[in-house]
Amino acid sequence: MSSNKPIVGVSACVVGQQVRFDTGHKRSFFVDQQLRELVDFKPVCPEMGSGMPTPRPTIRLRWVGEQIRLMDDKNHIDHTDSMNRFNEQILPSLSHLSGFVVCAKSPSCGMERVKVVQEDGKGAERNGRGLFTQALMERYPLLPVEEDGRLNDLNLRENFVLRVMVYHEAQTLIAEPTQHGLLAFHRKHKLLLLAHNEPLYRQLGPLVGSEFDGTIEQKVDTYLKGMMKALAKPATRRGHTNVLQHIQGYFKKDIDAGEKQHLQDTILAYRAGRLPLMAPLAVVEHILARYPKPYIEQQSYLHPTPEQLALRCNL
């Protein structure tokens, strides 16, 4: 979608750096091999960055009074303040990132369901978030963030790469917000938005075209909050079907009854789970080659992620 490569932050152990408490790593094949072809990485190890050595004692999140603290309980050391200082120091320098892959379950890097031990150490709930990732997501609420383990799910993988690519492009708009730029951005991503979230599609379209009670920066910010919220969840078969039928409408005067039926049957077979998404998309591409429609051809929906990952083949 954009000419320069996105830069994606990554927990350093996920790309093979031996920074874990036991001097090991947690290399992810997908991240370190496949995603690396599409993006440049900015590896970060918050524990090493906040001054911990390797090897080091294990640490965990634990309730202390009203607060969740980052504790080395064996040695009675509280690492919360040093981690907070590291976060304050590094986060301002990460505004150029277009995404972040964090290591699951870590009390520093985990994004969800991180273990939080009760104050007396006798029980735990899996409802926490690592302190670094918590601060990262608070400072950059639009930034696509995903865990290494969740990227083994092909649907979540496709959706993360898609969000990185869209956000990377949005960063140009954020840097130079103009009404013309916003219109062009929306026009290109309209069907993607529709596939992911029809109510937001209906809200954001009028927002783009109408007078806004605020600056263009605020308008772009409001729009992008909606767009990234819409993309946060993968599109469903129903959402894709909606878009495919919308595209079908553009050809109604071009294709004959037999082709119409073939496209309709392929879309419905996809919706019923009997065909992958690539099947109706291939029929659409075939028709587009004969009956060019610039508006449809320019839609990011047709090519939301780089083809070398072949992400949509699995959906």
Give the footprint of ligand SF4 on this chain (CB under 6 A): 11-13, 19-20, 45-47, 103, 106, 108-109
Distance from CA of residue 172 to its chain's centroid?
17
CB of 305 to ligand SF4, least distance (A): 25
**Does residue 306 sit in helix, strand or coil?**
coil
Q: Are 259 and 225 in contact (CB under 8 A)?
A: no
CB of 190 to ligand SF4, least distance (A): 38
CB of 106 to ligand SF4, least distance (A): 4
Q: Which is nearer to ligand SF4, 55 or 209 (CB)?
A: 55
CB of 110 to ligand SF4, least distance (A): 8
DSSP strand pairing (7-11 vs 145-147) = unpaired
CB atoms within 10 A of CB 236: 14
Closest by CA to 42, choosing from 87, 77, 9, is: 9
**Does residue 12 sit in helix, strand or coil?**
helix
Q: Which is nearer to ligand SF4, 145 or 263 (CB)?
A: 145
CB of 103 to ligand SF4, least distance (A): 4
Q: Which is nearer to ligand SF4, 26 or 157 (CB)?
A: 26
d(CA 310, CA 32): 17
Using CB atoms within 10 A of its CB, is residue 55 exposed (0-12), middle (13-18) or buried (19+)? exposed
| Secondary structure element (H or E) that encloses residue 162, with its range | helix 154-175
CB of 136 to ligand SF4, least distance (A): 11
Q: Which is nearer to ligand SF4, 73 or 259 (CB)?
A: 73
Q: Which is nearer to ligand SF4, 15 or 166 (CB)?
A: 15
**Does residue 117 sit in helix, strand or coil?**
strand
Q: Which is nearer to ligand SF4, 130 or 280 (CB)?
A: 130
Q: Which is nearer to ligand SF4, 9 or 239 (CB)?
A: 9
d(CA 11, CA 133): 10
d(CA 117, CA 63): 6
CB of 107 to ligand SF4, least distance (A): 8
